[in-house]
Structure 1
Amino acid sequence: MKTHFALLALAGLFFWSSVALGQEDPQPNPNHEPTEVSPVRGIERKDRPRSGNPDPQANAAVPATQAGRGGNGGPGGNGNGGPGGNGNDGSGGNGNGGPGNNGGGPDGGNGNGGPGGGGNDDGGPGGNGNDGPAIGFRSYDGTGNNPNAPAMGAAETQLYRLMAPAYSDGISAMAGEDRPGPRAISNAVCAQSDSVPNPVGASDYLWQWGQFLDHDIDLTDGADPPEPAEIPIPTGDPFFDPTGTGTAVMSFNRSIYDASTGQDSANPRQQKNEITAWIDASNVYGSDEERAHGLRTNDGTGKLETSAGDLLPFNTEGLPNAGGSSPNLFLAGDVRANEQAGLAAMHTLFVREHNRLAEEIRTRNPELSGEEVYQRARRLVGAMMQAITYREFLPVLLGEHGPRPYQGYRPDVNAAIANCFSTAAYRFGHSALNATVLRLDAAGEEIAEGHLSLRNAFFAPQRLTDEGGIEPILRGLAKQACQNIDTFVIDDVRNFLFGPPGAGGFDLASLNIQRGRDHGLPSYNDARRAMNLAPAQSFADITQDAERQARLAAVYDDVEQVDVWVGGLAEDQLPGALLGPLFATVIRDQFEALRDGDRYWYTRVLDRNERRLVENSRLSDIIRRNTDIGDELQRNVFRVPGQR
């Protein structure tokens, strides 16, 4: 009889699933041709817009050679070059541009695509002027963003394929049948014994914001009924088979997928994104009306529910929640809010910011209905998440290798979440985790309850309700440098994810490798080929680090076997960045698409004063105005003190 470990409720989707706006490319290249780089270690800059067909269910037609979001052929396809016309970049007025055929200018909309002006001059939400966007507010489920493809980016639609699937049977069978087992790879490549802080001074907010943001843009749950694909445990594994039975396995449930796919090689299996792809703060508000309604006070104030201590509300109505529908768990817009204490603190922070904004909007505009107050505050919170992501988070992660400057809305861009982004590249954060969550008082000292080990922070609301609230954690995240992004993963999630071995504990590295195979992701080298990057000819082409080379060679027979998540993390980092070329390219592509394909992008829909408020609101500002934290917090919380 096999020894089973408890089924992971989240199907392995624990996130750890750039250039600021207006900043120029480091070496401007108007033709977007590849820059001169090392054939293996450089990042190519060729324009690859996701243009041509924004239909979110068009995956079956993606050719093997397509590397970008283009419509026909190779990288970038032959889609339109961008919206043209003579508009004013979504600022309303009398623009007459609209999408043009191969035009190069910004989108002018139809003369009413932007805000109508008005508002106040002091940086707060707009006043009695015509400060609302002519295009209205977002839907909860993400539909209707693109009038030409209303389902694009919506909840319950397919993940996008940047690269053709590589199922073993060409249809749906797990990829990588010729590769070593995931746990064997994890033990050989990912075991971490020493702390390795990152080289650019990035703080723990790098991974914490990354997780919070991830839960705004993608969720792929497990199949129901389950479709097991157990992970074999090497005989004598010191954590999962200490008695040497040779029969131990780690439970794994394959991902939910579109039931209309996976029937033949012309229509291979396509997994679903169950929440909106847009950066719209759906993790705060929900991706459906029922959840959104359940989170509101519904008393005419436009506010969100809270519990004692101004914390998240508890799930007293039994809405779907990771960890079960227990009334002892917090409730938020995303079901994963209880996964760890730092994440719950971030959710709490943005609920407080919504309620603060609602009060301010109500004071300035007493004639507004509760619904209007709520929607205006919701729009501003989503805008703040966008601005923080592109102006603070991505520059630390990608340096000069991030998204190129915004050129306006592009209705021909498919903004759906790429399968290789959510299933591989954006799981970089699992390597950045520290084993200890610092909890600090205003003087920078450890609180009486002590610091918190990450393994004891999972599904533990009491860490906030009974141990000092969110402030100690929010201070601690800013003061500790995160681990370097490489193949190494701390024991807290490599052996003790959600519990000790044999009692619910899992290996996150193994889950990531298996999830990539479940989704039919290609090998590391095939992923590089798909993204127009030269394939590695040897392990030394992946990394110059001798230890990493040796670890890869110890478990993989050939460089062509390397799994995409493993190889992407093993790459040498680009100058000034925390990622290597493959993951930097995939992540850059995704964040360009999320921005360029979003008709509600904040620079298009906010008036001048709202935009000033948003762009002047660093994450540190939002923390200070919603907590007891003051000047002990540095201005840029994404870098530890003393780092710029």
Structure 2
Amino acid sequence: MPAPSRPDKPSFGAGTSGREFARGGRVAVPLRSLEFAAASIILKERGRHRVAAAIGCEVDVGRCREWVFDSNERLSFMDRTSLRQSMRRIKVTCGAAAFAAILLLASTTTAENRSYDGSGNNPLNPAWGAAGTNLIRMAPAAYADEMYLPSGGLRPGARKISNAIAAQSVMIDDSRLLSSFVFQWGQFIDHDLDLTTSASPSESLPIPIPTGDPIFDPLSTGTQTMMFQRSTYDSATGTAPGNPRQQVNAITSYIDGSMVYGSSESRALALRTMSGGLMKTSGDDLLPLNAMGLENATGGNPATASYFVAGDIRANEQVGLTAMHTLFVREHNRLAGELAAANPTWTDEEIFQRARKIVGAEIQAITYGEFLPALLGTMTPGAVASYDPNIDATVATEFSTALFRVGHTMLPPNLLRVQNDGSEAPGGPIALRDAFFLPTNIASGTELEYLLKGLATQCQQQVDQLVVDDVRNFLFGEPMPGGFDLAALNIQRGRDHGLPDYNTVRVAYGLSPVASFAEITSDANLQAALAAVYGDVNDIDPWVGALSEDHVAGSGVGPLVAAALADQFARARDGDRFWFANDLEFTPAEIALLESTRLSDIIRRNTGITNLQDNVFFVVPEPSALALAAAALVSLAFTCRHRRGDAPAE
């Protein structure tokens, strides 16, 4: 089905090439004609508030200037609800001569914006979803001592399970042709939702290495361990049975763009130029370098000033993630430029907050309109929300610690770098093991475009329990002392957080417990491997069990992952007072435009990439209408070549 028609560069509150309604809180009509407005405004009375509505006929623009809101007028909560319902019934049409959209915007000087730390989103429970508050639990904690000692004490060590269950020798492309943007957006949005840092003072929980492990104990010493630090926790918890340890989420639980702007006002201010609503950048419109000395993950490298810095401390963790951060800082600054040009009297703060609001809405729209449908299929929570102050959007520890770590199995061994015409970029792909904490991988805007185009071109790996060697044996460095095993880390983190067994977690999400390994998977070899390493179907680590499940029909994941994601993303939507579809700062026309926003739109608006499929979450042959002549020689087989681990062509 073709994408709905929309302007290449939508404008939110910014006049285009015509006149602008402006007085107090603005009503703006972007026009493609200087001669007329293809809309009019009529007044209605709701109490003492005037309500503007659009109808499809021509009017004199000058007269409309007297009909807009006064800067001191504000809608009450009840009036806001009624207005949204009535405005949804108004039909706004587009024509070749004019873009007839009424942009009814409340005064930015009095508009309520999200707090940076998420506090106050729910006025009745202002701490819900705020940075620095505890993760919630869907299932009871299962600490060995009912307080804080790790769960799963009778299970084998995490590395032993990883070797038995997660070792991947053959690359398996996603059967539904999901692109690498699925795992990349998943990581990006995860860093908008949760971050558990290491406890201070540190609390070690080393992972035992099996004797003779070919990577970590090749000399069969039997004494090797893998470093692991337990997570930060609420010091008021874990003190007695009935008061189990609870881990702390360092960032907001809302989908609010915190990975772009930060989860504290101080970080947000440090990332701004404080002029024109703009965010700081470095050469070639890349992320700023950390000259300001903000907290930043660098993989242990002390040269912190040479690393990029963003709203989330993990922006350098992986080169594709850095690309996503860069893309959305560019989008913010693009919007800020348009808003400043259209509204010359606006302050830096007004421009910044309006651009921030739009970027947050775009992130929400892409997550619910593209990412979740691609991954979950029919189990996707829609973007249409009905705010419920009784719903707590706080992230669940089962989601963050185990069930949203599904992306780790999607990772390919190489990240493609692809030119706009679809051909391989000079230098070929980046080995995944070389993609971590190396900001030099994005040294220019051209490199950024190669990576973004590569993510759209390359299939992700099938969602299963298998993890490629680049993150199972080489994560963040060479094997020992820097190397690590991401699968083992996931298992150990679940035990650190006191997660119960797989069956208990299934029940917590409304699923029936399984009675045999055959009920988890139809793969006889995997059934045997699970039985050999665990023995008891009632004592499986949740991350392993969930990723071993057969997929739900039409979905890219099994039933437990699907249920957990559906729950978390529904609560993130319905428990968010500032959800874009309910926000009266947006008109119905703007909401419709936001709902139609695709990630491909953001990429095209902020890079030189033009040859791109509309839905970048699925791999497709190059669009024939856009493909350059050279692309005709590039088949989908090329797309899969490096995905299967083959060596690049000489």
Same fold (TM over 0.5): yes
Residue in structure 1 matched with residue 399 of structure 2 by the alignment:
421
Aligned-partner Cα distance in 1 for 2:293–2:592: 39
Q: Distance in 2 between matches of 1:540 and 1:133?
A: 61
CA drift at 1:115? 7.8
Aligned-pair identity (%): 51
Residues in 2 aligned to 1:133 and 1:592: alpha-carbon distance in whole angstroms: 31
1:330 aligns with 2:305: no
Counterpart among 179, 202, 214 of residue 178 in structure 2: 202
Question: For 2:170 and 2:252, how far apart are their aligned partners in 1?
Answer: 38
Contact preservation (8 Å) 1:93, 1:111 = no
Match of residue 256 from structure 2? 280
Aligned to 2:189: 213
| Aligned counterpart, 2:636 | none
Could you say what secondary structure the match of 1:465 adopts?
A: coil
Aligned equivalent of 1:446, options 418, 424, 428 = 424
- Given that 2:108 and 2:350 are in contact with CA atoms closer than 8 Å, whether structure 1 keeps it comes out as no
Quote the residue 1:224 is aligned against.
Answer: 200
Does the 8 Å contact 1:93/1:112 carry over to 2?
no
Paired amino acid for 2:365? A
CA-to-aligned-CA distance 1:129-154 (integer Å, 9 cap, x gap): 53759761100010110100011110
Alignment of 1:559-574 (within 5 A): 559-574=537-552
- For the pair 1:507 / 2:482, whether they are aligned, the reply is no
* 1:245 and 2:221 correspond: yes
Structure 2 residue corresponding to 1:141, chosen from 107, 117, 121:
117
Q: Are the counterparts in 2 of residues 115 and 604 from structure 1 also a CA contact under 8 Å?
A: no
Alignment deviations for residues 524-546 of structure 1 (CA, whole Å, 9 cap, x no partner): 01111222312111110110111
Decide which moves more: 372-381 or 608-617. 608-617
Tell me whether 1:474 sits opposite 2:452 in the alignment: yes
Q: 1:316 aligns with which of 282, 287, 291?
A: 291
CA offsets 1:17-41 (integer angstroms, 9 cap, x no match): xxxxxxxxxxxxxxxxxxxxxxxxx
Q: Shift of residue 267 of structure 1?
A: 1.1
The two structures, once aligned, show a CA RMSD in angstroms of 2.6
User: Is 1:114–1:604's contact at 8 Å kept on the other side of the alignment?
Assistant: no
Give the distance between the partners of 2:622 and 2:158, measured in 1 at CA. 37
**Deviations 1:297-324 (Å, cap 9, x if unpaired)?**
112x000000001000000011100115
**1: CA distance, partners of 2:472 / 2:83:** 48
Give the SS at the match of 1:470: helix
Which residue identity does 1:217 align to in structure 2?
A: L
Contact 1:172 1:269 in 2 (8 A): yes
Matched-pair contact (CA < 8 Å) for 1:319–1:325: no
**2:588 & 2:148 partners in 1: Cα distance?**
50
Structure-2 residue corresponding to 1:57: none
Indicate if the aligned counterparts of 1:231 and 1:249 stay in contact, CA closer than 8 A.
yes
Cα deviation 1:468-499 (Å, max 9, x = unaligned) = 33100000000111000000000000000001
The secondary structure found in structure 2 opposite 1:424 is helix
Residue matched to 1:112: 80
Higher mean alpha-carbon deviation, 527-536 vs 502-511, is at 527-536
Structure 1 unaligned runs (5+)?
1-87, 95-107
One-letter identity of the residue aligned with 1:477 = L
Q: In the alignment, which residue of structure 2 is the partner of 1:494?
A: 472
Aligned equivalents of 2:100, 2:541: Cα separation in 1: 49
What SS does the corresponding residue of 1:440 show, helix, strand or coil? coil
- Supply the distance in 2 between the matched residues of 1:114 and 1:355 (Cα, whole angstroms): 33
Classify 1:361/1:428 alpha carbon distance in 2 versus 1 (closer, same or farther; 3 Å): same
- Contact 2:103–2:589 (8 Å) recurs in 1: no
Which of 531, 540, 551 pairs up with 1:553? 531
Once residues 458 and 384 of structure 2 are traced to their aligned partners in structure 1, the CA distance between those partners, rounded to angstroms, is 32
Give the structure with the higher percent helix: 2
Find the aligned partners of 1:402 and 1:443 in 2 and give their Cα distance. 33
2:605 is equivalent to residue 629 of structure 1: no
Are positions 1:578 and 2:546 aligned together?
Answer: no
Structure 1 residues 179 and 409 mapped into 2: Cα distance closer, same or farther (>3 Å)?
same
**Aligned-partner SS, 1:111:** helix
Q: TM-score, normalised by structure 2?
A: 0.80
Q: Residue type of the partner of 1:518?
A: D
Output the CA distance in 2 between the equivalents of 1:441 and 1:471.
8
Aligned partner letter, 2:588? R
1:600 and 2:575 matched: no
TM-score scaled by length of structure 1:
0.80
In structure 2, the partner of 1:296 is 272
- What CA distance in whole angstroms lies between the structure 1 residues aligned with 2:531 and 2:457? 37
Structure 1 residue 501 displacement after superposition: 0.5
8 A Cα contact 2:317 2:437, kept in partner: yes
Q: Deviations over 1:263-315 (max 9, x none)?
A: 1112110001000111000000000011101100112x000000001000000
1:398 aligns with 2:376: yes
Is 2:570 the partner of 1:610?
Answer: no
Give distance in 2, aligned partners of 1:223 and 1:478: 37
CA contact (8 A) 1:201 1:643 kept: no
Q: Write the distance in 1 (CA, Å) between the matches of 2:151 and 2:603.
A: 44
> Residue 387 of structure 1 contacts residue 615 of structure 1 at CA under 8 Å; is this kept in 2?
yes
- Pick closer, same or farther for the CA change 1:561–1:431 going to 2, 3 Å: same
Larger RCO, structures 1/2 (Cα 8 Å, 6+ apart): 1
* 1:302/1:371 contact within 8 Å kept: yes
Shift of 1:127: 5.9
| Counterparts of 1:340 and 1:473, CA distance in 2 | 11
| Distance in 1 separating the partners of 2:77 and 2:179 | 40
Structure 1 equivalent of residue 338 of structure 2:
360
Q: How many Å apart are 1:375 and its aligned residue? A: 0.2
Q: Read off the aligned partner of 1:341 and give its amino acid letter.
A: V
CA contact 1:131–1:607 (8 Å) conserved in 2? no
Count of residues paired in the alignment: 541
**In 1, Cα distance between the equivalents of 2:609 and 2:156?**
49
Measure, in 1, the Cα distance between the counterparts of 2:398 and 2:315: 24
Mapped contact 2:385–2:579 kept (Cα < 8 A): no
Question: Residue type matched to 1:154 in 2?
Answer: A
Which deviates the most, 340-349 or 444-453? 444-453
1:531 aligned onto 2:509: yes
Displacement, 1:617?
2.0
CA distance in 2, matches of 1:574, 1:335: 34
Q: For the residues of structure 2 that align with 1:350 and 1:469, how far apart are their CA atoms?
A: 16
Matches within 5 A, 1:451-466: 451-465=429-443
Alignment-derived partner of residue 212 in structure 2: 236
Instruction: Report how far residue 110 of structure 1 moved.
Output: 2.7
Structure 1 residue 362, shift from structure 2 partner? 1.1
Q: Report the CA distance between 1:112 and its aligned residue.
A: 3.1
Is the contact made by 1:120 and 1:609 (CA closer than 8 Å) also made in structure 2? no
- Is contact 1:183-1:233 (8 Å) kept? yes
Letter in 1 for 2:79: G
Q: Is the 8 A contact 1:528 1:535 kept in 2?
A: yes
Instruction: Kindly provide the CA deviation profile for residues 73-121 of structure 1, in whole angstroms up to 9, marking residues without a partner as x.
Output: xxxxxxxxxxxxxxx9xx9979xxxxxxxxxxxxx94323698989998
The corresponding residue for 1:28 is none
Paired position in structure 2 for 1:638: 617
- Distance in 1 (alpha carbons) for counterparts of 2:82 and 2:285: 35
Matched letter for residue 474 of structure 1: L
Alpha-carbon distance between aligned partners in 2 of 1:578 and 1:490, rounded to the nearest angstrom: 18
C-alpha change, 1:624 and 1:114, in structure 2 (3 Å) is: farther
Q: Determine which of 388, 393, 409 is the counterpart of 1:431.
A: 409
User: 2: CA distance between counterparts of 1:516 and 1:131?
Assistant: 47
For residues 391-423 of structure 1, give each alpha carbon's deviation from its aligned partner in whole angstroms, at most 9, with x where no partner exists. 000001110012267451100001100000000
The question of whether the paired residues in 1 share the 8 Å contact of 2:613 and 2:622 is answered with no
- Answer yes or no: is the 8 Å Cα contact 2:260–2:311 preserved in 1: yes
The one-letter amino acid of 2:467's match is: V
The equivalent residue for 1:307 is 282
The code of the aligned residue for 1:110 comes to M
Change in Cα spacing, 1:637 to 1:245, as seen in structure 2 (3 Å) is same
Amino acid at match of 1:430: H
Contact 1:113 1:135 in 2 (8 A): no
How far apart, in 2, do the equivalents of 1:126 and 1:225 lie?
Answer: 55
